[in-house]
Amino acid sequence: MANKKRRYAFPFVLPMGSKTSLLRLQVESSLATRVASPFQFRDRIVETVPTGAPLIDRRVGGFPRGSLTEIYGPTCSGRTTLLVSALASRTAASEVCALVDANDVFDPHSAKAAGVKLEQLLWVRCRNVDQALRVTDLLVQGGGFGLIALDLGDALPHMVRSVPMQVWFRFRRAVEHTPTILLVLEQETTIQTCASLILKLHAQKMRWSETAESIEISRPHSPGCLLHGWKIRVEMIRSQAKREERSDAGFETEIPRNIRCSPTEPRGGRRQR
């Protein structure tokens, strides 16, 4: 009986190996015109470019080309500040950029004052999330942009969460092996594993030229004062380039501002996010 078990155990291995080899050959033949060596691991060297904020570049390494980067945080956490810094950096390098503005909140005058070359920027003003996704799909499929930013920061979070995951996979696949940087800005993280780099922003204490305690109560109206800046904490949640998952080290950076508004409105206005 022991000999019989050894006799019948070995023949069953060969058919399984043959089926596996045949299946692998069929897959390679089917993908021959689209994917070269689909079963061979390739460690791709990712090129990164400056974000426009030196302290962020030291920690993160910059935005990766040919990849999808997710930037999220609550209102007034610094999303727009980081976006404008990236646009200024890329347009200064003579690259053509595109901004898909889902809720038409972009301020070109502030962007120009921050160093963005508007003649190098395609600004697409949309009415809703669905229209913004359609426009982004056309841009990533067309190519030719150094940076494409999809700003969903002012869209309702539940509308962004309803976007199917295959949409983000499609975007990621479209920019792979291209020099395009795809940025997606949101209030909450939804892309997750589709993104090569995920950054979470937190707003810290703001600095005003006057404080609410130093203002005379006898004044008939709320006086204006200068917002000198605020500290932003950036947390790297995920980075494929650094082979790191969540990083709790974090760091702080201070971004100066010259915005005249009231100290009773700590958010610094509607467009400062």
Q: Would you give per-residue pLDDT tens digits along the chain (273 residues)?
A: 445 544 444 444 445 467 777 787 777 777 666 665 656 555 567 789 998 888 888 888 899 999 999 999 998 888 998 999 999 999 999 999 999 999 999 999 999 998 999 999 999 999 999 999 999 999 999 989 999 999 999 999 999 999 999 999 999 999 998 999 999 999 999 998 889 999 999 877 777 766 555 555 545 555 667 666 677 788 888 887 665 545 543 444 444 444 434 344 344 444 445
225-239 and 251-261 beta bridge pairing:
antiparallel
Residue of 95, 118, 190 lying closest to 150 (CA atoms):
190
- Quote the pLDDT of residue 264: 40
Q: Write down the pLDDT at residue 235.
A: 86
Q: Please give the pLDDT value at position 257.
A: 45
The pTM of the full predicted model, rounded to 2 decimals, is 0.72
Nearest-angstrom CA–CA distance, 8 and 48:
57
Which is nearest to 180 in space by CA: 42, 35, 69? 69
CA distances (Å), origin 167, targets 97, 110, 145, 162, 210: 21, 31, 19, 11, 47
Q: Mark 212-228 as b/e (b = at least 16 C-beta within 10 Å).
A: eeeeeeeeeeeeebebe
- Tell me if residue 131 falls in helix, strand or coil: helix
pLDDT at 258: 42
CATH code for the domain defined by 48-210+224-261 = 3.40.50.300
What are the φ and ψ backbone dihedral angles of 195, each rounded to 5 degrees?
-95, 140
What secondary structure does DSSP assign to 72-94, as a single string?
E-STTSSHHHHHHHHHHHHHHTT
Residue 41 structure tokens: 């691991």
